[in-house]
Every structure is written in C-alpha cells, then in structure tokens.
Structure 1
Amino acid sequence: MARLMGGLVVALLVVPTLAITTARLQPGETLWWVILRALAPVAIVPYALAVIVLIAMSWGFRTVARPVALPVLAVVTSLLLLHVWWFVKPFLADAPGSATANGFTVMTANLHIGRADPQALLDAVDRQGVDVLVLEEITPAALADLDRRGLDRRLGHRAGTAQLNRDGIMVFSDEPLHDTTEIATSTPGVGVKMTTSGGPVRILAVHPIAPNNGVAQWSRDLDLILATAKASHEPTVVVGDFNATLDHPQLQAMMRADYRDASTDAGLLWRPTWPSPSQRVRIVGMKLPSLFGLDHVFMRGPLTTTDAHVRAVPGTDHRALVTRIAWTDAPSTP
C-alpha cells in the first residue's frame, strides 16, 4: 500500500508538471501555452518533491521498489535540473565593468486604467528617489490627480500620452527628454533620450497587449519591441509591463541580444509583479497567487544594477518595480 501511495503521489506531482516542461521546450500559439510557459520556475517545486518521494521509495523499499523507482528518479531529476538551469541562467550574465557613483533610479508601475492610489505612488517616488518614472495605463484623470499632488514638480519633464483606456503610457523624468519616438505596438510605447550624470541613455517605455486579448497580436507586439531594442545603438533601458516573463521567447531573445534583466542583475531571485496580492484575480473560480514577473527593466551598454525590488501600490493589479541603475567603467560601444 505504501508503494502504491508513493507512486500515486509521484504521478500527481510529475504528470501535470510535464505540461509546463513541454510548453517551455516547444513554441506555441495558444493562451494555455503562454500561461504554462510562464509557470516554468514554479515547476521546480513539484519536481523537487517528486525526487524526495522517489528517494524515499528507493531506500524504504529496496527489494521491490528500487528497480522501478531508480529509473524514474533519474528522469525526474533530469527534469528538475533542466528547470533549475532555465531559472538560474539569467543570473549568470556578467555586467560590463564595475559600477561607478553615477546612476539613476527607474520605477515602472501599471496603474490599472488609472485606479492606482496616486498618493501611494508619489510617496514611493519620493522614498525611492526616482529619476525616471514609467506609468502604463495612465488615464487623463489619473494624470491630473498626480499633478495636483505634485508630480509635475517632482519630475518636471514628460513624454507620451494619457488615454481613457489601457493605451496610456508616459515617461516622467527629472532631466529633459528629447528625440521622442512612438513604438507602434497595439498599446503604443514611447522612446525618449535623456542625459544622466553618466551620459546619455535611451529609454524605451513599452506595454504590449495582454495575451488573453490575442496571442498572435501579443507575439507581434513583443517582436516589435525586440526589434526596436536591437536597433538601438546607444546605452538603452527598455522598461514597462511586458505581459511576459523571462521564459517567453522574445524576452529570451532580448537577453541573447546582450540585454540584461535588471532584477536578475541585482540578484533578486523571486519578484512576481502580477497579480498584486491586494487584487482578487481569479481563474476557474480560484484566487490566483502572485506568481508572474510581467514587469521588467532591461538594459544594454555600460550599465549595471545595484538594487531592484518590488513595491505594492494600492488600487492596481501590478506591483511597481524599482531599479537603481549605475553606469560602469566599461567603454560604451556603438
């Protein structure tokens, strides 16, 4: 009976998780593929538990269970190590040089169509010493409320537009912004250039469509963001709500193009930004836990990250992501 129960536990742990591994290994075009691929880091847990059960079966029932348990243990251990490798690989990218004293702080927050608490947002801007603020889903009413509370005095330069729907995206800065361009995704992004204490940098603020509104269009939006980022020949920061995790193909391609994820660069092992714990996001009637890192800051050039963390903002379904970026002593390459 104990052997049967052990085998049943292993099957319940491994069989559903194989769907995640399959999605991570193969391309796909369905919403379920997008969701399963985003769950790749979570698969480490059931595979690890299955390995523990199989080890116990191998040692506890040596004469009968071992011939079956050992081969299964080898397979499940291989799957576990594969997911661990996928998880740790972004952390292995080296920064170009050592951090200098010159730097700037970037914060990105999705306002949930203007529902985020404006005072809590401004308090975070003040406490974190934010130099560049990127706001997605900013509405005209939310912008007016933020300005009434002093955003225009804190960060006096801006680009982008506020919209009544999810299309609003704006960049706010304490330094002048110029060379403004539009990124023609479904929910348009904006590109700007600014001068920091360490030199000029291009900021690409992005917010592709969510995959539940059409996986094909979501994929095209990410392709366009990737192409825009790769076409930049100067120090560049790509920031926003990507509606994708580091396990999705375009963000992997971003890292292969020498962009580094600021959170992993800072050693932040686990930083889900959606859904925020304060929001009741449900799937099949169950409240979805905060699992997905959808908001990112990518950088390329002589830049590194000295700190990254997430902050809850009441009223929105996303956590804000705050990143301290420093210039390095490496030369800038065109």
Structure 2
Amino acid sequence: MDSVRPSRPPAAPPRTAPVAAADARRLAGIGLWLVLLPLAGWAGLRLVGAEPKFRWSQAVSFTPYAAAASLVPLLAAVGLRRRATAVAAFAVTASLAAAVLPRALPDGNPPADGPSLRVLSANLYHGSVPAGALMDALRRHRPDVLVMVEFTPETSAALDRAGVARLLPYRVSAPEPDGQGSAVYSRLPLRADGPPLPGEGPRQIPALLTLPDGREVSVVAVHACAPSGGWRSGCWASSIRALPPAGGRLRVLAGDFNSTLDHAVLRELIATGYRDAADVTGKGLAMTWPYLDQPWFFPKVAIDHLLADSRIAIRSFATSALPGTDHRAVVTDITLPAAS
C-alpha cells in the first residue's frame, strides 16, 4: 500500500516589482515623517518662544543647524512626490528660515555722526589667555574699550606688568578667581556706574565712559550663567534679565551672554531698544563658541554679542581668535548720535 504524503500549501506567488516599489515608497514616507516631526516640534517651540527644561535652553542654540537639516526631508518629499509631506516640510523649513536667514542680511543704521568707538570683548576662559596675546590683540585692533569676562587677579597683574595702561589707562574691574570676574578698560575716562549687577553667577559690571564732548555712555561687561543643569538653570535666565533695558542714557552691553538670538530671553532684552551688532551687519551666523579642544566638525554657536542702543549706528562686526580660550573675541565699530 502506498504511503500517503501530506500535501503542502501552494507556494505564494512571487512579489511583483510594483508591489515591492509601493512598499519601499510607504517605508520612505514613514521615514520622512519620523525625521520631520522632531524638526516640526523644534520649529514650533522656537516660534512661540517656549523654553521647557529638558535641555531645550541648550539645544535651541543650534537652530541654524536644524534649519539646514530641515531641507533634507523637504527635498526628499519633493523627490518622492509625496505632496502632503512636502507641504508640511516646507512649512517647517520656512518657519526655521524666517528665524535664521535675517541674520545674514545687513540692516540699515540710524543717522549718527557723533564720536566713533571700537569695542573689543573677550571671554578669557578662567584667565587662560596670556597677557602677551591680549596686548598683541590691543595693538592689532586698537580698541577704545576692552571688555573682559572670566577675568582673574592673575590676568589683572599680568596686564599691568605688560604695560596695558599705556594703551588703555582707565579701568573698572572686579577680578575674581574661577572665572567669575569681569573688567572694562578704556582709552577714555571711565568710572564705575554702581556695584556689579545683582544676582548669582559671574560678575556683570557697569561702567560709565566719558566722551570728549562730555557725554557719558554706559558700558556693561556681560557674563550670563551658562544654561546648564542644577542651580545654573535658574541663574542663566535671571542673569540676562538683570541686564539694564535700553532707554535713557546711551548704553552698550558686551560680552558672553551664553545665549543666541534663538533664546527668547535674549530677544526680550533686545526688544527693549537694543540691536545686536552681528545681526545688524549681516554676520549673525558668525559663531563664537566652542573653539578649544573640540574637533573641527563640532557645531559652533553664537553666544558672544555686542548689543547697542538703537540710536547707535553699528559700522562693523568681526570675530577674532585668541590663544588659550574657547571663545572668539568680538570686535565692533560703533558711531554714536551727535550731541543734541
């Protein structure tokens, strides 16, 4: 008697090329949305100015890179002819571009034909910049005002020995260890404008510069707390809000704000009547940190600024490397309005 062999189910027909292509397009569409949704969330938070506490105050600094990255899903969606995804991607890219691109476009200036000043500001990285390098920078850039943060007693003494008084004879300084000190040096007469600003964190000191025509201009050395974890999270925003708003006496704020133009707290300060020098000159994407012990491809951010009263004309802005620090120095030329 012959054995009965169990029957096998018929083999599935081979997948046709159109079916496989459809599956690939579907997976590609899902992948596009997985890339696009975080960028959409980024654009939404940046648009409304919300700054939640899950490290967003650090991440939002990299908005220019997010804007560039948003082109990837947009171009892919267009290439794959996924209309709904392309429309959503375009909205995300447009929102991020609206926040970032104006920084690369120069603005106009108010009429100003008063005295001109050059301001050099630098974060000295716990006083690690050699005094000789600072003196070289002074001779090269010839500033009228030098603003330094992370200014230590050792740096102060070294600059005195190097003869800084021959170039900038006036100063208001508060040297402190551990990167907490600040200083303003000047070619023109200078005096303190009260005590350091209140608040935790590094010293932020106001000074009054006396012009040849007798007018006074306020210069504030800015060093906001870093927006990191622990107590510094609260210190960061409060140290920026402690800075004086624009109005009244002409004022310049210069230094390490530990904030970019993508931080709502900095934009709120600017909205009181300041202008950001880098943004005004179309160099708002000139990055200033970090440049020490980082690979070349590590993304940089623009956290060092000069804010000037909106009545002041901003003629030029540039960054400059200094040895021993992770920040680029900032060199800004400004022109004050004529005396009334």
* TM-score of the aligned structures, taking structure 1 as reference length: 0.85
Deviation at 1:118, TM superposition (A): 2.6
Pick one of 253, 259, 262 that aligns with 2:274: 259
Read off the aligned partner of 2:58 and give its amino acid letter: I
C-alpha displacement of 1:292: 1.1
Paired residue type of 2:100:
F
RMSD, matched Cα: 2.4
**What one-letter code is carried by the residue in structure 1 that aligns with 2:241?**
D
| Alpha-carbon distance in structure 2 between the residues aligned to 1:289 and 1:218 | 23
Instruction: Identify the residue that residue 219 of structure 1 maps to in structure 2.
Output: 237
Corresponding residue to 2:75 among 52, 59, 62: 52
Conserved in 1, the CA contact under 8 Å of 2:171 and 2:191? Answer: no
Mapping of residues 270-289 of structure 1, within 5 Å: 270-276=285-291, 278-280=292-294, 289=298
What SS is found at the alignment partner of 2:139?
Answer: helix
Q: CA deviation at 1:309?
A: 0.9
Task: State the alpha-carbon separation in 2 of the partners of residues 31 and 125 from structure 1.
Answer: 41
Q: Is the 8 A contact 1:31 1:212 kept in 2?
A: no
- Correspondence for 1:112: 125
Q: Match of 1:35? A: 58
Give the whole-Å Cα distance in 1 for the aligned partners of 2:68 and 2:32: 12
On the 8 A contact 2:217/2:250 being kept in 1, the answer is yes
Which residue is 1:246 aligned to?
Answer: 261
Instruction: State yes or no: 1:326 paired with 2:339.
Output: no
C-alpha distance in structure 1 between counterparts of 2:190 and 2:141, whole Å: 21
Counterparts of 1:1-334 in structure 2 under 5 Å? 1=21, 3=25, 6-7=28-29, 10-11=32-33, 13-24=35-46, 25-30=48-53, 32-58=55-81, 69-89=82-102, 94-97=108-111, 99-100=112-113, 102-181=115-194, 182-186=196-200, 187-196=202-211, 199-213=215-229, 214-225=232-243, 228-230=244-246, 232-276=247-291, 278-280=292-294, 289-328=298-337
Aligned equivalents of 2:337 and 2:45: distance in 1? 37
Q: Partners of 1:193 and 1:105 in 2: how far apart?
A: 16
Cα offset, 1:273, TM superposition: 0.8
8 Å CA contact 1:229, 1:238 repeated in 2? no
3-state DSSP of counterpart to 1:211: coil
Q: Structure 1 residue 18: deviation in Å?
A: 3.3
State the 1:264 CA deviation.
1.2
Larger deviation: 133-142 or 182-191?
182-191
Shift of 1:200: 2.7
Q: What residue number does 2:8 align with?
A: none
Q: 310-319 or 49-58, which moves further after superposition? A: 49-58
Alignment partners' CA distance in 2, 1:76 and 1:160: 50
Query: Could you say which residue in structure 1 is the equivalent of 2:12?
Result: none
Q: Provide Cα deviations, 1:39-89, integer angstroms capped at 9, x if missing partner.
A: 22221111122221122112xxxxxxxxxx111111111111111111245
State how far apart, in whole Å, the 2-side matches of 1:23 and 1:129 are: 42
CA contact (8 A) 2:197 2:206 kept: yes
Of structures 1 and 2, the larger Rg is shown by: 2
Deviations 1:186-241 (A, max 9, x none): 2221111112357431111111211115211211111111xx224x5111101110
More strand by share: 1
The offset of 1:26, in angstroms, is: 4.7
Cα–Cα, structure 1 residues 319 and 290, in superposed 2: closer, same or farther, change >3 Å?
Answer: farther
Task: State the shift of 1:113 in Å.
Answer: 0.5
C-alpha distance 149-19 of structure 1, shift in aligned 2 (>3 A): farther
> For residue 65 of structure 1, what is the aligned residue in structure 2?
none
Output the CA distance in 1 between the equivalents of 2:255 and 2:335.
19
Distance 1:305 1:279 in 2: 33
- More displaced stretch, 78-87 vs 179-188: 179-188
Query: How far apart, CA to CA, are the structure 2 residues paired with 1:142 and 1:148?
Result: 10
